[in-house]
Each structure stands twice: as structure tokens, then as C-alpha cells.
Amino acid sequence: MVVDQLTNDTTADRLFHALADTTRRDILMRAGPESEQSVSALARRYPMSLAAVQKHVNVLQDAGLVTKVRRGREQIVRVEPHALQTVRLLLDQLEGLWRARLEQFEQVLDEQTKGDV
């Protein structure tokens, strides 16, 4: 598959699994490069336990979308922009693949239409 040239299936699965959840996408928005946040500060923003937010952050970390850095007693969450670039490249490749397939399908339909006239 074309996408395999960029990354393996496990990496793609982890990235898309991490991005499939609303809370995790929100954490990425809140922990942007200019607005690093501690896990405990993030947890205060959601109607869930600190442990639940830590699990969300761990899923993002396993996917390579964030890193955690210890600063004193806190763990600071930082977004990893290169991982987001990988997601964009994967989506661009998938879009290119499907656009090419649709063009081929369109050509077949055009040929059949011309033959019917």
C-alpha cells in the first residue's frame, strides 16, 4: 500500500486511534507549542479524574503526538509537531490514492458513454 512507504501500519493505527477521541484532540489544542500544560492543569479542564486524563495523555504519547517532561513535581505535556506532519502526509497520500482511483473510474465511465453513442 502507498501509505506503507511513509510509516508502518502500527504507527498509523496509533496516530489515528489517538486522534479519534475528542478529549485527546482537545488536549493537543491546549498543549500547543506556546502553551505547554501540566497533566494536572489539563485534568482540571475536564469532567474526569486525573488518572483518566493521564491515560489520554499516555495514548497521545504512545502515538508520538506529545512528550511529557518532568518539571519539578509536575509533568509538562508538549506537542510534537513532527508527528502531526506525519498524520498530514498520511492523509495526503490517502487523498492522492483515492483521487487517482476516482479519475480512473471516471475514465472508464467516459469510455463506456462514448461507446454507447
Look up the CATH number of the domain holding residue 39.
1.10.10.10
Domain containing residue 75: 2-116
User: Per the structure, how many domains does the chain have?
Assistant: 1
DSSP letters, the chain, are -GGGGTS-HHHHHHHHHHHTSHHHHHHHHHT-TTS-EEHHHHHTTSSS-HHHHHHHHHHHHHTTSEEEEEETTEEEEEE-HHHHHHHHHHHHHHHHHHHHHHHHHHHHHHHHHHHH-
Instruction: Kindly report, residue by residue over 67-117, the tens digit of the pLDDT.
Output: 999 999 999 999 998 888 888 998 898 889 888 889 888 888 888 888 766
pLDDT > 70: percent of the chain: 90
